[in-house]
Amino acid sequence: MKTGLVILREQAGHETGSHPENARRFPGVIDRLGEDSESHGLPVLESRAAEVEDLARAHTESHIANVRAAAENGPTWLDGDTVASPESYNVALRSAGAALVGVDAVSGPAKAADSLFAIIRPPGHHATADRAMGFCLFSNAAVAARYARERLGIDRVAVLDWDVHHGNGTQDILYNDPSVLFISFHQWPLYPGSGWIDEVGVGEGRGFTVNLPMPPGSGDREHIEGFNAVAGPILDQFNPGLLIVSAGQDGHVADQLASQNLTAAGYHALAAASAGFAAGKGIGLLALHEGGYNPNTLPLLDHAVYAGLGGFTPDLAGDSPAPETGDNGWPERLAQIRRAQSAFWAV
């Protein structure tokens, strides 16, 4: 499985100061994954700026204009968690544009790889059609999915989100759209408070939103069981022509913004399972970076994801071990999820 990178060189222009989502997250990641790419002969692609019409497939014109104006007058807080500095709008265009480069490179006529990992910020999965929130300005995953549908003619696109926070923005934009399947693993309860089992879509999109709210303390075992029992079978039945992964590594045991116990091995397993599914279907996979706020561990975690996408052996030395945990209610939660989804899918 040939993988590669899409790099956003301008990411530091989105200046957020001491905010958890800051420019210090990615230098170590780019160095580590750059070494991976060189040693394995993998392509490294550059981002480009998305056009306003690309954003408008997922966002209202007023939202796009508001983000631009906020950046021009920045630094400005768009909500209690989300800041825009003078270059934030331009960087966000290139963040979304990197997703479009990735779609073209795994699914377009000039296919360059089976999968790509886009190292981008600001993240996107909390941005709704008309609102910036949760560190996010534009929904990179939704923009990419709509671009794949409208520009490349891919009938069905799946978005798999394993960030520890629910991808409420991606869900909001796609909630009534049966052509895009949205599956989210996330800690429950946790910000932003959405993503319960009964949120399954509306109208023609009913059944095409799949939420797996994971109990606090969930780790590798619970997430892989959720993939094998729910996400994988539903992906197989949906039979997408492209898989987009919102890859947030903030469920790691050493990340400070949540209470999950995933390890680098768990992220490697999730990435390998996703890549294996895509390879089995003969479709492209695009992973878009979302959360992950410990700059000391993020290079290792992203290396684990990259190795899972490319099928090479990761070096996981130095990872934080997961603590021993008792029963956190996961078996009962998994049964609830399967019952809810059995109305739409064979799970």
Strand 157-161 versus strand 242-247 pairing type? parallel
- Rounded to whole angstroms, the Cα distance separating 169 from 142 reads 9
Query: Are 63 and 104 within 8 A, CB to CB?
Result: no
3-state secondary structure 65-102: HHHHHHHHCCCEECCCCCEECCCHHHHHHHHHHHHHHH
- Rounded to whole angstroms, the Cα distance separating 95 from 39 reads 26
Phi-psi region of 193 (alpha: psi -120 to 50; beta: other; left: phi over 0): left
Annotated catalytic residue within 59, 63, 125, 126: 126
How many residues can be counted in the chain? 347
CB-based contacts of 73, cutoff 8 Å, min separation 6: none
Q: 325 is written with which tokens?
A: 């945990």
Note if 19 is an active site residue: no
- Rounded to whole angstroms, the Cα distance separating 295 from 317 reads 16
Closest CA to 175 of 216, 137, 147, 142: 142
Q: 211 is written with which tokens?
A: 């939420």
φ, ψ for residue 6 (rounded to 5)? -120, 125
CA distances 27 to 4, 12, 20, 109, 288, Å, are 17, 9, 15, 32, 17
- Chain Cα centroid distance, residue 198: 22
- Rounded to whole angstroms, the Cα distance separating 213 from 191 reads 12
The residues carrying an active-site annotation are 126
